[in-house]
Amino acid sequence: MYEKTDEFGPEKVIEVHDAKSGLHAVCVIDNTAIGIGKGGIRLVPDITINEVAALARAMTWKNALAGIPFGGAKSGIKADPKTADKEKLMRAFASALKCVIPSLYCAGPDMNTTEREMGFLADELGDMKAATGKPASMGGLPHELGSTGFGVAQSAFEALAHKEMDVNGVRIAIEGFGNVGTFTMKHLCEKGAKVIAVSDSRGAVYDERGLDYDALLKAKAEKGTVTAYGNGAKILDSASLFSLQCDMLIPGARPNVITAVNAPLVKAKIIVEAANIPMSVEVEKSLSSRGILMIPDFVANAGGVISSYVEYIGGSESEMFAMVQEKITSNTRLVLENTINNDTRAAALKIAKERVIGAMNEKKS
């Protein structure tokens, strides 16, 4: 039995074992004071209840700060993504969780699940509100549209404005060139920013003159790595990206990439956390103490969940981008205006908690 509870939740912890399908899954509905629980389903071989519960709590704060009527939740399916029959597992998951989907929980894509798996879930239950991030053919707004990266760029613009730095010519380094990193770079470059370095799992490419977005996208598509970029750029190891001389650093792929070891080498004036948990809170505080402006992950990367809300209410792609821009911009600004001693995470959490507590008190009255 899961016993790590507090005044916020979790409200429900459901663990499912199904011998017929081989399903072993966990669903944690953390808090539904603001709305039904919203959070993705990740499919990994080592999922634990504690991990899912922590992710569900993170979604409670992310959704509250995003200003959308969703509570926090998360799910995990324990399986090897390379060998699992994902359709079979997803349909079994949907069937087992129909007691809470979609009445208390709306799913979405996460690690090793995509629009395809969300389509299976919605189809199994015969309800399009069972999940977001579905295929466009099912009325979905797939994450492949780049809502998260677009939102990260909006948060970055607001951070630059706060520091009174002109976006035109600002030097940026981006870790990761997947869905988030590519769209973040695209929207930053369109406004005149100079992305001088990008990395992926096979290395980093660096050019002080700025990298060409289309050429980098082509190299990645054709050769599978940004290091195939050419054009006179330097090839570095991935870890070197974090110590480059730049104005803004955007960790946008793996967790815990900035550590106590390499944090002292960071030279950026601003860090926008596009990835989830790119560093520990302790490391974040050490960088803040040096005067580096931090934009926490659940502030900067909420574009995906805002997109999910627009899909949930039947909105269009253009409406989605408009809402992501408005909410990410206004919430980043709100956090920065309420920050004391450069502790942006504390300011963001305070705002999110106040919103959740207000909704909980309203439910009681």
> Catalytic residue positions?
74
Pairing between β-strand 37-38 and β-strand 293-295 as defined by DSSP bridges: unpaired
3-state helix/strand/coil string of 212-264: CHHHHHHHHHHHCCHHHCCCCCEEECHHHHHHCCCCEEEECCCCCCCCCCCHH
Bond before 251 cis per omega within 30 degrees: no
Question: In the numeric block, which tokens belong to residue 128?
Answer: 């399009």
Label residue 236 exposed, middle or buried (CB < 10 Å: 0-12, 13-18, 19+): middle
What is the SS3 assignment for 280? Answer: coil
What is the SS3 assignment for 141? Answer: coil
Are 353 and 61 within 8 A, CB to CB?
Answer: yes
Question: In the numeric block, which tokens belong to residue 105?
Answer: 């929980």
CA 70/CA 290 separation, integer angstroms = 35
Are 75 and 42 within 8 A, CB to CB?
Answer: yes
Q: How many residues does the chain have?
A: 365
Tell me which H or E stretch contains 76: strand 71-78
What is the SS3 assignment for 41? Answer: strand
